[in-house]
Structures are given as structure tokens and as C-alpha cells.
Structure 1
């Protein structure tokens, strides 16, 4: 059986909620990427903006398994200012090339999910097997279970394919 794990970053708890919900639906273990320095209050907001605009790589903490120990990684990250959240970008800069295969979920309040997926693909050096873009409101209102269930099924189908090079990227919703 394939070893599938969920790796997420969340500042406000929305991506965490999506990761925990997917874990409860799938049984996959969850591992968190955390800020080395917490982003509380107005100062934390300012750091988010500057890190995104300047494409900085902030320090992070990750205590999960090495990504090359997993057969398939589900990356869950928020979108900041229409791009990938800086801590997940920093994590993927150092760890992304270890990923054998992956799928991605981006949580956003508005727009920028596809741009964040492009960021992930660039840092990982390959395209995801499937993607899901979730609106923050749907996650917080607990109205994303159907999408997460379809994503789980699609991930299971894609995880077992050796030599996957599908020209069409499957997306949910």
C-alpha cells in the first residue's frame, strides 16, 4: 500500500481545518510546517505581506517524516496576496525536490489559487497529480466535505500510477 501523508501550513487555522478534515476522511497522517517565529497581531500581518511581496523565505519548523519516505504527499497551504504562503514556499525550496508524487490543496479568501499551484509545481520540480482550490468560507462553514471526498478518491487513483505523465491536470470543482 502507498504511504500517503498530509503536509500543511496554516497561520489562521483554515488550512489546518482542511488538513484535519481530510485526515479524518482518509486516515492519512498529518504533519505541520510551522513558523519559527509566530505571526501574531499586526506585526505578524505585516510580516505576511512583506514575505509575500518580497518572496522572502522565512525560517520554519517541520518535525514530520522526510518527504522522500512518503509515496505521495498532499500539500495544503494558504494563498497570501495571490501567491503561495511564504512559510510553505520556504519549506518547498528546501524539501520540494524530495517529493516523489504529490497533490495540492490551496485555501484562499479570494483569488490566486492557480498561481500558488504554479509556485508549488516550480518548487517541487513537477506538476501535482491533482489539485483542489478551497474558499476560506467553505472550510470554516464546514461545507467542503464533498470536495475533499472527491479529492481523496482522485488522489488514491493517481497515487498508484507508475510513470504518471498525464497531460491533463485533474482538478476538483
Structure 2
């Protein structure tokens, strides 16, 4: 397990832009989850809503190498209705267990990325480390370039000894 891979799904192109930026920083390969039926226009929007509300598993195509040889997989996906986008959810369900470790970047319009990261953790059985939440407008304006560079640097940091994972104080429970 030596290959590292960035797997992304992008309906609008924003998550693709994020995945390409991380690949440029790390030199890691890209793999894409594509839908068999495009989601253009109002009909596509409606399918997004129905897939999420009804927990449907949309058909998809995976364009990339086999995951069996991957030492680390970065999942890059949008957030739909406060959860992980249905095509990426379907892909993860079909490709479990993932070998090696998992990281995640969730791109949201305004909210829900933390629940999407929870979806990735639940589906893979692994806590994504590192994990990053981005707003779509920050990606499009270029304001996300610094957090993306820091994320990529964390990916490339050589693993020497296990480190304690510290959660931001606003997430962690108070010690009594």
C-alpha cells in the first residue's frame, strides 16, 4: 500500500477545483466519481433533493485506479442538504473497506459539512484525518487557497509517531 489518491465527486466543478489544488500541492493522483446521468438544470436539482430525502443510491462511474493498493485516500465531495452528496455516498458504500487511512474535504454552500464528514467516518469506519471544511464561495474567490495549502502540507507530513488528535475546544466536551 504505497499509492496515495484523491477521489472526488463534483456536480458544479467546485469540488473538482479543490481536488486539483490538493493534487497540485501533493503530486498525488486524482480519481473521479461521475454520474451516469448528468444533473443539469432544474431536473438535476430535483434529483439531488430526492436522492437525499429518499436515501437513494444513484448509479455512478469510477474513473481511477483500484483502491486496493492505496495507502491514503482523500475524499473530496460536496454537501447536499446537510449531508454527503449521494454519488460519493454510493461510491463509499460500494468500496468498503478502504485500505490505509482516510482524509476528507467537504465543500458546502452554507452549512452541513461537519455532518458530511461524519457520514464519511461512518461509511469508511475511519475518522478522516486531516479533515477540512470549505465554503463554495471561498473556493471560487480564491480565499480557500491558504487552508488548502495547509491541508496538503499536513498530508505530506511524514508519519513518525502517533499523535494525539486534538479537537477544537468548541467541539470537545468540558472536563470535570
Gaps of 5+ in 1: none
Runs of 4+ off more than 2 Å: 159-162, 164-170
In the alignment, what sits opposite 2:65?
Answer: 65
**Is 1:6 aligned with 2:6?**
yes
TM-score (norm 2): 0.88
Structure 1 pair 121–165 and aligned structure 2 pair: CA distance change class (3 A): farther
In the alignment, what sits opposite 2:171?
Answer: none
Tell me by how many angstroms 1:156 deviates: 2.2
In the alignment, what sits opposite 2:18?
Answer: 18
Aligned residues: 168
TM-score (norm 1): 0.90
With 17-26 and 43-52 compared, the bigger mean Cα shift is at 17-26
In the alignment, what sits opposite 1:107?
Answer: 107
What is the CA deviation profile of residues 133-161 of structure 1, one whole-angstrom value per residue up to 9, with x for unaligned ones? 0000011112211101110111223x736
Q: Paired residue for 2:166, among 159, 165, 168?
A: 168
SS in 1 for 2:148: helix
TM-align CA RMSD = 2.0
In the alignment, what sits opposite 2:139?
Answer: 139
SS in 2 for 1:126: coil
Q: Which has the higher helix share?
A: 1
> 1:109 & 1:129 partners in 2: Cα distance?
22
